[in-house]
Amino acid sequence: MMTDAAALAGRRLDLVSAPFTLPRSRVLVFRADDGEGVRVHTSEYERRLSESRVLDALTVIGAGGEVLPVSDVHPARVTFGAAAATLTFADPSTLSLGGEPGARVRLRRPDGHVEEHLLGGGIRLRVAADRAVAVESGGHCAALAATEAIWADWFAKCPSVRDDLQEMTAFCWWVLGANIVELPSLGDARAIVPSKIGYVGLWQWDAYFIAVGLRHGDPELAREQLDIAFRFPQPDGQLPDVVHELGVLATSDDLPESDRANLRRAGSQIADPSAPVPLTKPPLAAWALRKVLEVEDAPDYARTQLARIVRSQDWWFAGSDLDHDGMPEYGHPYSSGLDDSPIFDGPLPTAAPDLGAYLVQQDRDLASLLVKYEPDADVERFRARAETTQALLLRMWDPERRRFLAFGGGEPQLSDTVVGLMPLLTGTLPAPIAAALRQAVDDPERFALPWGLPTVAACDPDFSEERMWRGPVWVNTSMLVAEGLEASGYPERARELREQTVALVIHGGGPHEYFNPQTGQKARTATTAFGWSAALFVDLAVQLS
């Protein structure tokens, strides 16, 4: 199985949308722009690839002086020519090259300097923290064997699924392994980042979705993602938006000054626009913990995490109910996860039906988890608060428009978006409301587009096929709506949406960040090899198998 999964994943490693890398490594290898050889970058927090150049070109030259093209890519190696030379890793910060007698490598550094080295028994390219490269001699065969062993261990955990889903599952499993980075400030912590291309940190929401997919093959690593996300609460219990190598992002004060100025200019109709803005992510923590524990129980771990989640949930009601009406709001679009959604085109803060649904579900999940792991805990307050929150959520229902509305600064936001479908997750909506949302999912003028569930209804004036959170399909929102359909009594429609979502990822060529709902292809500005899309494909593939 491990060999087959690695080979299946290798079919998708094009060195364009999927770079050559190693678990825990910050080194990325891409196909060179001119098609000859490769280029090397590092993966860094808040730094573009263009700013993280290690080698602008690494070209392998055969014994006869000919340039050897990349002929094959496998998770453990890049092959040049007819197996005349291979590239692998000696360790997370060091590349290793070896080749036939007379073969050599030409390196072009970012300063324009060009040098050549005979490959011989093997050379190593050690990448320093400042992206400088030291060329050393070293045994290539040993490096190749070690890298193959790392990937063999990883692919041995790849879930077995339905035959038509296995190749993409293997590639998505590669994405999860490839996106593992070390966070040195946290000791030996292993964070699976959304992408080594531009998203190098552990975002709270991403960690939840990644853990849900990862649990099927590596429940220990899945638990570690949640532990990192929960490990650094603010004094009032609020969980940070991001944990990264330099610290955390929990308020606008953790951002560069230019970003802070933008946040403050966004202002709020209620909160002090000059005060720090809390930055977090939607409350799906207990949902993710429940799913991870379903696969492998860990009572001591569960009790530790539950204490953190309870404080976070209480913070939403104490610290993010900015108009004091009992229903918490998003203080800033960043905290919703759907930063660019048109529900935030109006004034802040924003009371949104997705947040209400998540809060209802989280209180219910907390109650059930505490009954199991903390039997002496008072769980009635969570159940009672869930009922109160659901009653407030139902006030967001507009009977004339037959949909849930968000409210910005108390004003209704009329955009027809996917957040209005999330109350299905509660599973306890009045039957006519649940039926209306099911009809919305089935309506080709709104959400039943050729390649899935858009994040803004197709008939809405704010709809855009390509613009982030304003029309493209995202795997996570589709998965949540499918779960809501099942919870609300529509299991067959839920399965149809899950099948459509995995078909989208296969058709689109991989687990991209988001997809055009009309063509099913990667949206132009979407990131590739995206962590939660990969993880949720794995989760859906397991369910559908």
pLDDT > 60? residue 150: yes
pLDDT > 90? residue 121: no
pLDDT > 50? residue 226: yes
pLDDT > 70? residue 262: no
Phi, psi of 489 (to 5 degrees): 100, 20
Annotate 201-262 with DSSP letters as a single string.
Answer: SEEHHHHHHHHHHHTTT-HHHHHHHHHHHHS---TTSPPPSEEETTEEE-BGGGS-HHHHHH
User: How far is C-alpha 402 from the geometric centre of its chain's CA atoms?
Assistant: 32
pLDDT > 70? residue 3: no
Measured CA distances, 3 to 11, 105, 201 (Å): 13, 29, 30
Q: What is the pLDDT of residue 187?
A: 81
Express each pLDDT in 332-384 by its tens digit: 899 999 999 999 999 989 999 999 999 999 999 999 999 999 999 999 999 99
Burial label for 331, CB within 10 Å (0-12, 13-18, 19+), is buried
Task: Give me the chain's average pLDDT, please.
Answer: 94
Phi, psi of 283 (to 5 degrees): -80, 80
Q: What is the pLDDT of residue 2?
A: 43
Average pLDDT estimate for 99-125: 94
Q: Is the Cβ–Cβ distance between 403 and 420 less than 8 Å?
A: yes
Average pLDDT estimate for 48-72: 94
pTM confidence score: 0.96
pLDDT > 50? residue 49: yes
pLDDT > 80? residue 275: no
Nearest to 80 by CA among 89, 90, 95, 70: 70
Q: Work out the number of other CB atoms within 10 angstroms of the CB of residue 372.
A: 13
pLDDT > 70? residue 421: yes
Phi, psi of 221 (to 5 degrees): -70, -35
Average pLDDT estimate for 466-493: 98
Express each pLDDT in 278-297 by its tens digit: 999 999 999 999 999 999 99
Q: What is the pLDDT of residue 202?
A: 95
| Cα pseudo-dihedral 183, 187, 192, 194, rounded to 10 | -20
pLDDT > 50? residue 423: yes
pLDDT > 70? residue 269: no
What percent of the chain is helix, strand and coil (3-state, nearest 5)?
A: 40, 20, 40
The span from the CA of 77 to the CA of 85, in Å, is 10
Q: Among 81-85, 109-113, 185-189, 227-231, which stretch is predicted with the lowest mean pLDDT?
A: 185-189
The span from the CA of 143 to the CA of 91, in Å, is 8
Higher pLDDT, 48 or 239: 239
